[in-house]
Amino acid sequence: MNSVIERYLKFLVLMIAILFSTFSLITNHAIAKDSQKTFQIAGLDTPDGPPPCGQDGQCNLATCPNDPDCPPEPEPPESTSGSSGTSDNLEPSRASDIKNCTTQETTEIGFAIDWGADNWAGFETALESIRDWPVKIGGCLKNRFKKNGKVVCEDSMKGKCNGNNGWAAALNRKCHMCPDFLDKIRAISGVENRQACYFALVTHEWGHTCERGHKTLEIIDDEAFNFWKSNHPGVTINFNDCGMQ
């Protein structure tokens, strides 16, 4: 009886040993296989150290600001401020006051108006001393540039546009730009060149809404053009190139 029990115990110990040996082999194989894997770390520092910052196919921007695997940052959009003097703005401050014009015209006219508002002190001084002839329309014209002036791009040369670059009505706040004038300005190369013409015309027509002395206003547009040109080295045209006299 005792011999049978002894043989059974020996058999049981042998089986346990075999099972333990087999389990150890399986575990070691799994560990060896895992050790061959490539781990990509794309987060913050781990207990094993910081993530790789070299070219490893993984962007680790959180801790590697110059990681070559990360896509380049997008370029900031180009400013379309033209000559407004507000280079951080992407559109004129009062684009809604410019009606029936193309997108390009709205932008260029709008920024020319903004520039006039931003530089009003110098512009007013120039206007009120033109050819030793005080105009004295500063307060009204200042408001046209800064607050309440409107621009309308007309689509027909009929009516008041017939034979004119633009027109304005008394006791109104609108500068009407006529099609022939707009067509001519579109054909001029250079943003600042075109803005010089727009600036001259809005000054002239808004001037008519503030001062009805016709002879005075007939010299105000070329003075406005000259003031713009003196402050914008990129202007390469002359006043007559705007189709104005």
User: For the segment 84-99, what is each residue's pLDDT rounded down to a tens digit?
Assistant: 444 456 789 999 999 9
Domain assignment present for 51: yes
23-32 confidence digits (pLDDT tens):
555 555 544 4
As for how many domains the chain has, the answer is 2
Distance CA 163, CA 165 (A): 7
**Predicted local confidence at residue 2, as pLDDT:** 57
Could you tell me if residue 184 is inside a domain?
yes
Q: Judge if 121 and 214 occupy the same domain.
A: yes
Residues 166 and 71 grouped into a single domain: no
pLDDT reading at 230 higher than 80 = yes
Q: How large a percentage of the chain has pLDDT more than 70?
A: 58
Q: Are residues 118 and 225 in the same domain?
A: yes
Mean pLDDT of the chain: 77
Residues 120/142, Cβ–Cβ less than 8 Å? yes
Do residue 130 and residue 214 come from a single domain?
Answer: yes
Whether residue 61 is found in the same domain as residue 99: no
Q: How confident is the model at residue 61 (pLDDT cuts 50, 70, 90)?
A: low
Contacts of residue 245, Cβ cutoff 8 Å, sequence gap at least 6? none
Considering the domain boundaries, does residue 168 fall inside one?
Answer: yes
* Distance from C-alpha of 200 to C-alpha of 203, rounded to nearest angstrom: 5
First to last CA, the chain: 134
* Domain assignment present for 13: no
Which residues form the domain of 237? 95-242
Judge if 67 and 126 occupy the same domain. no
Q: How far lies 220's CA from each of 2, 78, 167, in Å?
A: 130, 34, 14
On whether both 108 and 218 belong to a single domain, the answer is: yes
165 domain-assigned: yes
The stretch 31-45 carries a mean pLDDT of 43
Residues 100 and 158 in one domain: yes
> Hey, which bits of the chain come out as E strands?
98-99, 150-153, 166-167, 174-177
**Are 98 and 151 in contact, with CB atoms under 8 Å apart?**
yes
In a domain, 158, yes or no: yes
Verify that 67 and 160 share a domain, yes or no. no
- The answer on 110 and 60 residing in a single domain is no
CB contact at 8 A, 166 and 177: yes
Residue 89 lies in a domain: no
Q: Are 115 and 85 in contact (CB under 8 A)?
A: yes
Count the helices and strands in the chain (H runs, E runs): 8, 4
- Indicate if 148 and 208 belong to the same structural domain: yes
pLDDT in tens, 95-153: 999 999 999 999 999 999 999 999 999 998 888 777 666 566 668 899 999 999 999 99
The tens digit of pLDDT for each residue in 147-192 reads 999 999 999 999 999 999 999 988 789 999 999 999 999 999 999 9
CATH number at residue 168: 3.40.390
> Could you tell me if 67 and 142 lie in one domain?
no
Q: Is 53 among the domain residues?
A: yes
